[in-house]
Structure 1
């Protein structure tokens, strides 16, 4: 992926998400009469600075380190030794506000992230986006196959909730699995017959390893049969050494006659270091080639390849499988709220299951992985990049609401204790909480960076 795409896409994403989060704090603080001293996007040395011309003279800053931001409010507890707050400003100090006002200001940041996600999903639904119908391809002897599903079945509902696209089906499947591993799926076969099948996922650890949740089910998108054609052959690979060429049509690999690129790739992956025979058609003539798929060390897993890139499915399949998913204004907003709620709940549940070991800690990503996804989604298209922004915004909102000192949720937890006991927590308690919060956040950052570096090395 080109760094000229990754870096700007990442900086734009971080800039938007941080600005929206901090603006939530800023806007509510101003509306509730709290004096704001500084609004900063980023930390460290200021790259840009402007002071407002009103009486408050708020300092707006864009700083060098983009990984966060802050809103500095007038607060007697942060007044350095020797400083004196003018008496007329004391009623506007944050620490002198009623409990509900302080809580509203703190919760406004995460809420702004959720509102951003809602608006993004609503915009995407209103604009319209390319979507795949929920046709499924099924791996032999997988949970989906054992449940009776066949390639080409269309999933129409999960536990009675309708699905209209592959993305809707994927998210709903994960959401319902987190509620119960026993699912009831409604489907329509290629012959048009409506069926219901029980999918029992007891004992299936979908998130025990990094990603690949649907792979554990043997579930892949399905396309109608089409000719498998070679797009390009990489040099110094088994394919090149055997004489495979671009535009060759693959008729057969051993005894398998592949009807899709996925079927061909799966067969190759399962025959690492085993000789295979390719039958191809080239300029009207049939040729037989012998080669041996080999493991690609750069993949990080035991994945075999022959070194050939396949052409994408023909455009004629789009009408059958792809469609434009779009809605009116009111329905788009409703679906935006629904999708944001669903993603928030799923994110929170997965975080909880990390604590019990049901979800691998390898799923935690840091800035490097986020930057890569920013670049990938930006290169695919505008609506896909918007979807990426919504997902990260939701994650940021959920993370900040966790009851960890230093985070917004930690402050809300202190306010809850204050409401229960009738007085603020002591300075000593806050100091201990700060150190605990620092340790937790620091540990998470180290783990995220370790996962990022491991992915890069692989």
Structure 2
């Protein structure tokens, strides 16, 4: 019965997961599509999902818009592409009519090809800015003044002389406006000496401390972050609802997008340096579970998750791995420097390496998902 209940629970995660994934994938591929069209490239297919077509239609330019059976991704196929992976069909390219050759992706300049490839991740970042900005305009944001309400007796903040009632005004030279700023800066500085400036009785006091690395388990996985042992003030006077005009909301949306970019890049970079653990890397199962949990918090929370996921997918696609957009950009950069494309053999080797890396990433993330779900079942 317990296994049946868990299965039903997982099935319930599917609709919000597909909602989030479809939004993110659609805008990523739409970026490729729009810039490709603007550069004069013919688009054969715009597909949400892979595999057999469930339904679709043709637009006036001859593009087949389709929804496919396997809803885990999507693709845009340009004239001259061999398949969904956008690899060039060299034999097919030679057989094209002169008019179609002129519309083929591979016959465009290296600058135009690079712009088309980069447009996908850029569209993901734009989508995130739009979502965050819209949420800020509609709901505003509750800000907590960066005032210390409580200090843990044996925490590093107490050892550094920080007291309840202190107003934190700067951390490592970064001006502090809200307590959320404090949490974000501290969380990514575990084990690093960090300079604090606090205001007490009208005077500014400088001190240094080193946040402690802590691991916190939740239904979303193990979270590793730095803590210093302080809590925000719970005085209602230190809590305010901030409303944003459209220009202000766009600025805040861009800041929020940049924060997610920086945090994601920091984590991925930390994996390679050994500072972060790869067991936090999640795959489709983890995203589905998080989507289901967040959906219970309301549509705004689910849309916010779509923005975060959009940033993550955009950034991941920019990694210089063949098969990803970033790998294609590396090939195009080499072509621009050399004045001619890399040899077919070099590109084929690169794509094989890229495929191996992606498969390894999928295996690791899927293993982490299974281990996480097993941990939840055990209650730990």
Deviations along 1:299-332, one digit per CA (max 9) or x if unpaired, are xxxxxxxxxxxxxxxxxx7x34643233221121
Deviation at 1:146, TM superposition (A): 2.3
Gaps of 5+ in 2: 1-5, 82-87, 376-380
What SS class does the counterpart of residue 349 from structure 1 fall into?
helix
Aligned to 1:433: 350
Aligned to 2:89: 78
Higher helix share: 2
Comparing 116-125 with 391-400, greater Cα deviation is found at 116-125
Q: Tell me if the contact between 1:5 and 1:378 (Cα under 8 Å) persists in the aligned partners.
A: no
Confirm whether residue 198 of structure 1 aligns to residue 211 of structure 2: no
Q: 1:118 to 1:143 in 2, by over 3 A?
A: same
Deviation at 1:374, TM superposition (A): 1.6
Aligned to 2:157: 144
The two structures have a TM-score, normalised by structure 2, of: 0.84
The two structures have a TM-score, normalised by structure 1, of: 0.71
Aligned to 1:88: 99
Q: Distance in 1 between matches of 2:346 and 2:214?
A: 40
Match of 1:165 among 156, 178, 184: 178
Gaps of 5+ in 1: 225-316
Aligned to 1:346: 263
Comparing 342-351 with 97-106, greater Cα deviation is found at 342-351
Q: Distance in 1 between matches of 2:347 and 2:214?
A: 39
Q: Tell me if the contact between 1:32 and 1:101 (Cα under 8 Å) persists in the aligned partners.
A: yes
Q: Distance in 1 between matches of 2:253 and 2:291?
A: 21
Deviations along 1:201-249, one digit per CA (max 9) or x if unpaired, are 5xx55689974434x424464464xxxxxxxxxxxxxxxxxxxxxxxxx
Give the CA RMSD over aligned residues.
2.9
Deviation at 1:83, TM superposition (A): 8.5
Aligned to 2:369: 452
Q: Tell me if the contact between 1:182 and 1:198 (Cα under 8 Å) persists in the aligned partners.
A: yes
Q: 1:119 to 1:101 in 2, by over 3 A?
A: same
Deviation at 1:335, TM superposition (A): 1.9
Aligned to 1:413: 330
Confirm whether residue 103 of structure 1 aligns to residue 111 of structure 2: no
Deviations along 1:145-175, one digit per CA (max 9) or x if unpaired, are 3223345655343234333334333223346
Mapping of residues 59-458 of structure 1, within 5 Å: 59-75=64-80, 77-78=88-89, 84-127=95-138, 128-135=140-147, 137-150=150-163, 153-174=166-187, 177=189, 181-187=192-198, 195-201=205-211, 211-214=222-225, 216-219=226-229, 221-222=231-232, 224=234, 319-320=236-237, 322-458=239-375
Between the two proteins, the alignment pairs up a number of residues equal to: 357
Q: Distance in 2 between matches of 1:441 and 1:388?
A: 23
What SS class does the counterpart of residue 213 from structure 1 fall into?
strand
Deviation at 1:15, TM superposition (A): 0.4
Match of 1:8 among 12, 15, 19: 15
Q: Distance in 2 between matches of 1:394 and 1:446?
A: 22
Which of 1 and 2 has greater Rg? 1
